[in-house]
Amino acid sequence: MTNIDLAAMRENYTRGSLSEQEAPQVPDALFAQWLEQAVRSQEPEANAMTLATVGNDLRPSTRIVLLKGHDAQGLVWFTNYESRKAHELAGNPQAALQFYWANLQRVVRIEGVVQKTTEQESAAYFEQRPLASRIGALTSPQSRKVANREALDLAYARIEAEVDASGKNPERPLFWGGYRLVPQYWEFWQGRVGRLHDRLIYSKDKQGQWSIDRLAP
C-alpha cells in the first residue's frame, strides 16, 4: 500500500507539438533531431532505452540498455551474448525499443528485427570502454544466479589482478558483443494539452519506402 494518491497525479503536456508537415521523410532523421534535443535538455541518460523481447514460452520481458550508435541501418547496443535477452533474441529476433524523454514530454517507439553486429564493430567498441567496464564484462555471468555480491566482487578482483599482472588490455570475450535493431516501424509521441497527444508513425512498405500516418492518442 502507498499513501500517495496516484489517481490525482497529473502532468500538463505543453512543451511541444509534432505535425506531418515538419516531420522528415525518413524516421532516422527525426530521431537524430529528437535525440540531440534530449541531450541538450540534459535528459538523464538520454540514450537509455527499454528493450522488449519475447522468449520461446511467449512471455515478454523488458530491460534498460544504452544506445551506442544509430544510423539509417538501425540502432546499436552491446551486451552479454549469454544473457536472457540474448537467448530470447536467438529464438525470436523480433524486438521493440522505447525511449522516454520526460523533459521534452516525448516518447519514441521502434519495432524491427535484431541482428548481431560484426565482430569488428563489437571489438572496436569494447576497446574504447573504460577498463573497469571491460573487467566487469569478463566477470559477470549475466542473467545467471550467483551466490552473493561477495562472489561477484571476488571474481572481479581476481580478473583485475590478472589484468594488472599481464600489463595488457583485456580482449573482448567471445560471449560479449553488439546487436543492431533494423527498424520496420517507428512511432514518435509528443505530449499535448488535454491528452490529445501527437502520434506520428513511420511504416516501411515492401519496396523499402517509408510512409507517415497519424494515430489517434
Say if residue 128 carries a ligand binding annotation.
no
Q: Are 119 and 177 in contact (CB under 8 A)?
A: yes
- 176-190 vs 69-71, strand pairing mode: unpaired
Taking the mean position of all CA atoms in its chain, how far away is CA 203? 20
Whose cell is 509521441? That residue is 189
C-alpha cell at 206: 515492401
Annotated catalytic, 195?
yes
Q: Are 69 and 124 in contact (CB under 8 A)?
A: no
Whose cell is 516525448? That residue is 106
Say if residue 6 carries a ligand binding annotation.
no
Say if residue 13 carries a ligand binding annotation.
yes
In the set 106, 144, 180, 195, the catalytic residue is: 195
Say if residue 154 carries a ligand binding annotation.
no
Distance CA 112, CA 147 (A): 36
Say if residue 143 carries a ligand binding annotation.
yes
Which residue, among 11, 3, 2, 46, has the nearest Cα to 191 in the 3D structure?
Answer: 11
Helix (H) / strand (E) containing 103:
none
Say if residue 85 carries a ligand binding annotation.
yes
Say if residue 92 carries a ligand binding annotation.
no
Say if residue 206 carries a ligand binding annotation.
no
Say if residue 145 carries a ligand binding annotation.
no
Active-site amino acid positions:
195
Residues annotated as binding site for substrate?
A: 10-13, 68, 125, 129, 133, 195-197
Binding residues are 10-13, 63-68, 78-79, 84-85, 125, 129, 133, 142-143, 189, 195-197, 199
Give binding residues for FMN as ranges.
Answer: 63-68, 78-79, 84-85, 142-143, 189, 199
